[in-house]
């Protein structure tokens, strides 16, 4: 993904962790889009969830929940991108890395809860 430094200048100072546990995939997408970290639902589906570009649209049209694999891939992708951005000399980009890391922690907690619920 091509990120421009200018994309980070107008980012909010706090990230919404979508309420932590039981977050919705659309909340994560909205958070990333509002912070200029993804461009569209197709971008989010492909580059964050590792799914077909229409995956998010399909979930919304069918009123379905994402697979646990999609949540796990989202957690991994957020963590990977946070690590890359954290190495920047730019304070703005480091702030974006911190926001991604916070969001990743909330997503990871959601994955763990989903796994626990499915194993009962």
Angle of helix 25-34 relative to helix 91-118, nearest 10 degrees, comes to: 180
Mean pLDDT to the nearest integer, 22-33: 89
SS3 readout for 6-40: HHHCCCCCCCCCCCCCCCCHHHHHHHHHHCCCCCC
| pLDDT tens-digit series, residues 28-83 | 999 999 988 999 999 999 999 999 999 999 999 999 989 999 999 999 999 999 99
Percent of the chain with pLDDT over 70: 82
Range with the poorest average pLDDT among 12-16, 91-95, 104-108: 12-16
pLDDT band at residue 115 using 50, 70 and 90 as cut-offs = confident
CA distance 102 to 46: 21
């Amino acid at each position: 993904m091509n990120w421009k430094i200018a994309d980070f200048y107008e980012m909010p100072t706090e990230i919404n962790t979508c309420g932590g546990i039981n977050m919705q995939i659309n909340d994560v997408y909205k958070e990333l889009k509002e912070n200029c970290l993804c461009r569209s639902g197709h971008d989010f589906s492909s580059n964050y969830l590792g799914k077909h570009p229409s995956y998010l649209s399909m979930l919304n049209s069918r009123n379905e929940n994402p697979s646990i694999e999609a949540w796990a891939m989202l957690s991994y992708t957020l963590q990977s991108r946070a690590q890359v951005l954290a190495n920047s000399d730019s304070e703005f980009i480091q702030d974006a890395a911190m926001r991604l890391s916070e969001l990743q922690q909330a997503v990871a907690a959601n994955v763990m809860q989903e796994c626990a619920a499915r194993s009962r």
